[in-house]
Chain A
Amino acid sequence: MLTWLILLPVIAAAIVALVPRRLKELHLPLGIALSVLPLALAGYVFWVFEPVAGYQFVEQATWYEPWGISWSLGIDGISIPMVLLTVILVPIALAASTSITRRTKEFVVYALLLEAGMIGVFLSLDLFLFFVFFEAILIPMYFIIGIWGSDRRVYAAMKFFIYTAFGSALMLAGIIALAVTHADQFGTTSFALSDLMNVELSVGAERWIFAAFALAFAIKVPLFPLHTWLPDAHTEAPTAGSVLLAGVLLKLGTYGLLRFNLSLFPETSVDAAWIMGILAVIGIIYGAVVAIVQPDLKKLVAYSSVSHLGFIVLGTFALTSGGLQGAVIQNVNHGLITGALFLLVGMIYERRHTKQISEFGGLQKVMPIYAGFFLFMVFASIGLPGLSGFVGEFLILVSSFTTLPILAVIAASGVVLAAIYLLWAYERVFTGVPDKENLGLSDLSVREISLLAPLAILVLVIGLYPNILLDKIAPSTESVLDHIEQQTEYVVPVPGRLSDVFVADGDHE
């Protein structure tokens, strides 16, 4: 089943690739139609997914015995929201790419391959396999930015590639170190996550390997001061590229920290929690402050990502039930909200061919529906209660207050700053009297509304009834904390462990 989840996009890409170039009107619709298949399959997986700890739908096939590598897939409460996010965003990103008229076929193929790679990263239970997917997705993303981006696309694509490759190179050293240590201790080489979790590392070695993994993921997230590739990549990437980059690719970093750093290096995770927390909070404040002064709408959204992803890292290293749950659910929220914001920026760019905030004004009179969606997403991003952004940030802030109180207080000001940069941007773009250039703009078409509506509905549903996800997330995040408690002296503080904020019924605890 899970193998098919990875294979479907690959097959879809192959089908699109086989359609001859002269039928170029066909490629994009075909790609969109085919990308619904993984969505349906993932929906089914979500439907039958049992809200219990541990991996489900596990598949295992030996890849190369002497090296101990295997095609080993499984899904749990931490990865299932990420997979869903991926399969939802890809069709939407493709459908939003009608403005791509040049080399459409290749674009669709790369997007579908990217989807396969991202799903693969979330499903891998073998570190070798994980690394293969983690690194392989660089290629399609590199092409998407480099071919269909704007003016400085080659520079941005190269920067994106080299930054990420640098991080993953050191992570590969860490993976090799783990496997070699495992071979020393158990006599067999293995890259399975469950096996490597049993490796006894010396304190020094554990710190180094933790650092190697953390660096790779921190570049992906990106954490301050490793974020400089992100604004470039976002500004130059086409809309679909930005949506997938912000929506899913950045989550590989936060997902990796949660899945690998916490489980493989519990001791160091506890010891280094405050360092990661400080970096996260610097990111929150720095991203927000820089976002305030951005003259470019897309860059503003890009920096807001830096800020919001800081919350997710903070929640992860709060090492409490609420923090982990908040981190996972905020991954989803950020994907939906920022994805929608990038779509919105892309839509206005197609009309006005500029992203400069100063060029706009009074748009809510000319484009009321557009303004409505924009305001909705702005509120969701700020964290207005009732919308999904609130759930994640609230969980994260409340629970990090129990373990990292000072950082939580500083981080909370990030919410205020978010209100400043987003609402101020809204004010400049949408209020006032529209000038001549802006008067002629047409409001959203039915097609564009149909792209935004699903995202808006999801934001609302998760905001009103977060248990739809939290029920399935909680058992898995609890088992991560259980593992940390077993391996270290660390005890999850009681108010943080109750996970009573939203999962009050306690059926599955």
Chain B
Amino acid sequence: MIVTPEVSWISILPELVLAIGAAAVLLIDVQYKPVTRVLGGVAAFTLFVATIFTWLQWVQVGDVSVSGVFGALGELVVFSGMIVMDGYAVFGRFALLLMAALGIAAGWKLLESLNRRGAEAIALILLATAGFSIMVASNNLVMMFLGLEVGSISLYILAGLTREKAMADEAAMKYFLLGSFASAIFVYGVALLYAGTGQFEILAIRQFFSDFVVTSPAVVMIGLGLIIVGLGFKVSAAPFHSWAPDVYQGAPAGVVGYMAAMAKIAGFLAIARILLTGVPQLEDSWLPVMAGLSALSMLVGSIVALVQSDIRRMLAYSGVAHAGFIMTGIVGGATTGMLFYVAVYALQLIGSFAVVAVVSGPGSSGSAIDEYRGLGRRSPALAMAFTVLLLGMAGLPLTSGFIAKFGVFSEAWANGFEWLVIVALLASVVAFGFYLRVIVAMYMDETEAEEVVVSAVARWVLAIAVVGTVLMGILPAPLIDFAANAFPL
């Protein structure tokens, strides 16, 4: 372990900017009481600056990983081993920042309608982004926990933004209680791992396992298991998914997509970093566990989603299935496919919930599939966009979802988990069933309901999500290359 004494500001500049931006939003709101639009501008500027700094990080990471092999590692592990500056963290940051921008845009109607509380919501979105961003960049498990909590607590509050509604209240409460429970489990896991290895730092833990053979690994194993459970909860992998349908259903439509996308990105990047960089030597123990969780998530998610009558619960269960698909990438022992999958899925998720927010209203709780009947006639463009996103999540060719599935499945197959790939493929066929149900409702059912008005901001979000989904399905090379270069240290 190489410890650098000097402070490497560049490694945390994006998070600093985000935190300052959040504070600025709150202060400006208190001092000047501007219209929400101004605060949105501040948030956009913050995200823009954070993106530029992230890009600078990428330049520097590329420089170091090209020039020096292991000797240069010291420049990348900074703040006494707390933060690691690798391509992996940069990829995660880019994804999180993009989703934050899209999330604010998708929920814009909601944020405006909240009046004074809009400022809080914007600040919380920026804070959550900062927290999750630190989480994907931490080399230290305690640091990771701090990031996780900053992010999660912001999300709990966001879930209850429209707390006048009983459903939103219930969603926030459930999310908070179960979420804190999961965080506690995660911390307990970290503690046990520390008890077993004497290390908090992921790279040091790897060093520990390559230096020593652990004869009675029970403590380490239990610790690792608890970490998987805690993070599995955050990404709503089965059997830790039971909160997701209720929260997705109850929370205001405008922020659900953001919440779900953020938790998935950060959660999976953290799981993969711990397992693949921290304890690759224990592969034989955790690979079967992850494979089992993956298979269970895919099956439970796909099958239970079939019988949902509320589109948000359906998307929640489909999210459980997707958690399973993404885990096949981790079981494949590589991060390329997983990173690609997480990024494109997060985009589809935000896009889908943007549609939900348009159709059901931004502050609404619950959206029955019946609300979508005849949408193909009422609002052809909106229905077409939703269709592309649903087909993308279903993984049909010419969409990013297919490339993503193909990537993780190939990795898992090459790593010897043929059975898991076959289960995954069958689960994706089952999943066609519920995605198609929505398409059936939109195109093959008639209704008397009226045209849905799509605001300009929502149009932009949908355009980006749809173009991204199709483009990454036809020309995926740049993003896959990026993901392949963005490996964790």
Do A143 and B425 have beta carbons less than 8 Å apart? no
Of A64, A66, A139, A179, the residue contacting B391 (CB under 8 A) is A139
Given known A132-B398, A170-B425, contact A66–B433 (CB-CB < 8 A): no
> Which of the 9-residue segments B139-147, B223-231, B346-354, B409-417 touches chain A?
B409-417
Chain B residues with Cβ under 8 A from A170's Cβ? 422, 425
> Is B182 an interface residue, CB under 8 A from the partner?
no
Select from chain A the residue with minimum beta-carbon distance to B405. Answer: A172
22 A-B contacts (beta carbon < 8 Å): A64-B476, A66-B480, A67-B410, A67-B480, A132-B397, A132-B402, A133-B397, A135-B397, A139-B391, A146-B443, A147-B443, A147-B444, A157-B440, A169-B428, A170-B422, A172-B425, A173-B425, A176-B410, A177-B418, A179-B410, A180-B413, A183-B414
Q: 0/1 per residue, A106-144, Cβ < 8 Å to B?
A: 000000000000000000000010011101101100110
Do B391 and A173 have beta carbons less than 8 Å apart? no
Of B413, B444, B480, B484, the residue contacting A177 (CB under 8 A) is B413
> Is A308 an interface residue, CB under 8 A from the partner?
no
Given known A136-B397, A170-B422, contact A176–B409 (CB-CB < 8 A): yes
> Is B471 an interface residue, CB under 8 A from the partner?
no
> Which of the 9-residue segments A159-167, A389-397, A440-448, A463-471 touches chain B?
A159-167
Select from chain B the residue with minimum beta-carbon distance to A129. Answer: B397
Chain A residues with Cβ under 8 A from B396's Cβ? 135-136, 138-139
Chain B residues with Cβ under 8 A from A133's Cβ? 397
Do B397 and A165 have beta carbons less than 8 Å apart? no
> Is B7 an interface residue, CB under 8 A from the partner?
no
Do A166 and B484 have beta carbons less than 8 Å apart? no
Chain B contact residues: over half helix, strand or loop, or mixed? Answer: helix
Given known A64-B477, A146-B444, A161-B432, contact A173–B422 (CB-CB < 8 A): yes
> Is B426 an interface residue, CB under 8 A from the partner?
yes
Given known A136-B396, A153-B444, contact A158–B433 (CB-CB < 8 A): yes
Do A142 and B409 have beta carbons less than 8 Å apart? no
Cα of A146 to Cα of B445 in the assembled complex, Å: 10
Do A180 and B410 have beta carbons less than 8 Å apart? yes
What is the distance, in angstroms, from B434's C-beta to the closest C-beta of chain A?
Answer: 11
Cα of A291 to Cα of B414 in the assembled complex, Å: 47
Given known A135-B397, A146-B444, A180-B414, contact A162–B484 (CB-CB < 8 A): no
Cα of A154 to Cα of B373 in the assembled complex, Å: 14
Cα of A136 to Cα of B477 in the assembled complex, Å: 20
> Is B195 an interface residue, CB under 8 A from the partner?
no
Cα of A65 to Cα of B477 in the assembled complex, Å: 8
Chain A residues with Cβ under 8 A from B480's Cβ? 64, 66-67
Cα of A169 to Cα of B443 in the assembled complex, Å: 25
What is the distance, in angstroms, from A133's C-beta to the closest C-beta of chain B?
Answer: 8
Cα of A204 to Cα of B4 in the assembled complex, Å: 55
Given known A66-B480, A143-B443, A176-B413, contact A162–B432 (CB-CB < 8 A): yes
What is the distance, in angstroms, from A37's C-beta to the closest C-beta of chain B?
Answer: 22
> Is B449 an interface residue, CB under 8 A from the partner?
no
Chain A residues with Cβ under 8 A from B59's Cβ? none
> Is B177 an interface residue, CB under 8 A from the partner?
no
> Is B421 an interface residue, CB under 8 A from the partner?
yes
What 9 A-B pairs are tightest by C-beta distance, nearest first? A132-B397, A169-B425, A135-B397, A64-B477, A166-B429, A136-B397, A180-B414, A176-B413, A169-B429
Do B477 and A176 have beta carbons less than 8 Å apart? no
Select from chain B the residue with minimum beta-carbon distance to A143. Answer: B443
Do B436 and A158 have beta carbons less than 8 Å apart? yes
- 12 extra A-B contacts, CB within 8 A, seeds A169-B428, A180-B410: A66-B481, A133-B397, A142-B436, A146-B443, A147-B443, A147-B444, A162-B433, A169-B426, A173-B413, A173-B422, A176-B409, A180-B414
Cα of A110 to Cα of B440 in the assembled complex, Å: 16
Given known A66-B480, A66-B484, A173-B421, contact A131–B397 (CB-CB < 8 A): yes
What is the distance, in angstroms, from A229's C-beta to the closest C-beta of chain B?
Answer: 14
From 157 to 214 in chain B, residues with beta carbon under 8 angstroms from any chain A beta carbon are: none
Cα of A65 to Cα of B481 in the assembled complex, Å: 10
Interface residues of A, Cβ cutoff 8 Å to B = 63-67, 128, 131-133, 135-136, 138-139, 142-143, 146-147, 153-154, 157-158, 161-162, 165-166, 169-170, 172-173, 176-177, 179-180, 183
Cα of A158 to Cα of B402 in the assembled complex, Å: 20
Chain A residues with Cβ under 8 A from B443's Cβ? 143, 146-147
Cα of A166 to Cα of B433 in the assembled complex, Å: 11
What is the distance, in angstroms, from B433's C-beta to the closest C-beta of chain A?
Answer: 6
For B426, B433, B444, which residue has the most chain A Cβ atoms within 10 angstroms?
Answer: B444
What is the distance, in angstroms, from A162's C-beta to the closest C-beta of chain B?
Answer: 6
Cα of A153 to Cα of B421 in the assembled complex, Å: 32
From 393 to 408 in chain B, residues with beta carbon under 8 angstroms from any chain A beta carbon are: 396-398, 402, 406
Cα of A176 to Cα of B421 in the assembled complex, Å: 10
Chain A residues with Cβ under 8 A from B397's Cβ? 131-133, 135-136
Chain A residues with Cβ under 8 A from B426's Cβ? 166, 169
Cα of A133 to Cα of B409 in the assembled complex, Å: 19
Select from chain A the residue with minimum beta-carbon distance to B409. Answer: A176
Select from chain B the residue with minimum beta-carbon distance to A155. Answer: B440
Select from chain A the residue with minimum beta-carbon distance to B421. Answer: A173
Cα of A60 to Cα of B477 in the assembled complex, Å: 17
Given known A136-B397, A139-B391, contact A154–B444 (CB-CB < 8 A): yes
Chain A residues with Cβ under 8 A from B429's Cβ? 162, 165-166, 169
What is the distance, in angstroms, from A377's C-beta to the closest C-beta of chain B?
Answer: 32
Select from chain A the residue with minimum beta-carbon distance to B410. Answer: A176
Chain B residues with Cβ under 8 A from A139's Cβ? 391, 396
Cα of A4 to Cα of B371 in the assembled complex, Å: 41
What is the distance, in angstroms, from A392's C-beta to the closest C-beta of chain B?
Answer: 32
Of A154, A165, A176, A180, the residue contacting B432 (CB under 8 A) is A165
Chain A residues with Cβ under 8 A from B425's Cβ? 169-170, 172-173
Chain A residues with Cβ under 8 A from B444's Cβ? 146-147, 153-154, 157
What is the distance, in angstroms, from A385's C-beta to the closest C-beta of chain B?
Answer: 44
Cα of A132 to Cα of B470 in the assembled complex, Å: 13
From 436 to 450 in chain B, residues with beta carbon under 8 angstroms from any chain A beta carbon are: 436, 440, 443-444
Chain A residues with Cβ under 8 A from B414's Cβ? 180, 183
Given known A66-B480, A172-B425, contact A146–B440 (CB-CB < 8 A): yes
Of B398, B418, B433, the residue contacting A136 (CB under 8 A) is B398
Chain B residues with Cβ under 8 A from A154's Cβ? 440, 444
What is the distance, in angstroms, from A453's C-beta to the closest C-beta of chain B?
Answer: 35
Cα of A65 to Cα of B484 in the assembled complex, Å: 13
What is the distance, in angstroms, from B330's C-beta to the closest C-beta of chain A?
Answer: 18
Cα of A166 to Cα of B476 in the assembled complex, Å: 25
Cα of A357 to Cα of B286 in the assembled complex, Å: 64
Cα of A421 to Cα of B440 in the assembled complex, Å: 36
Chain A residues with Cβ under 8 A from B428's Cβ? 169
What is the distance, in angstroms, from A271's C-beta to the closest C-beta of chain B?
Answer: 22
Select from chain A the residue with minimum beta-carbon distance to B476. Answer: A64
Chain B residues with Cβ under 8 A from A166's Cβ? 426, 429
Cα of A67 to Cα of B481 in the assembled complex, Å: 11
What is the distance, in angstroms, from A104's C-beta to the closest C-beta of chain B?
Answer: 14
Of A128, A131, A132, A158, the residue contacting B440 (CB under 8 A) is A158
From 240 to 268 in chain B, residues with beta carbon under 8 angstroms from any chain A beta carbon are: none
What is the distance, in angstroms, from A201's C-beta to the closest C-beta of chain B?
Answer: 14
Chain B residues with Cβ under 8 A from A67's Cβ? 410, 480
Chain B residues with Cβ under 8 A from A66's Cβ? 480-481, 484
Cα of A142 to Cα of B477 in the assembled complex, Å: 29
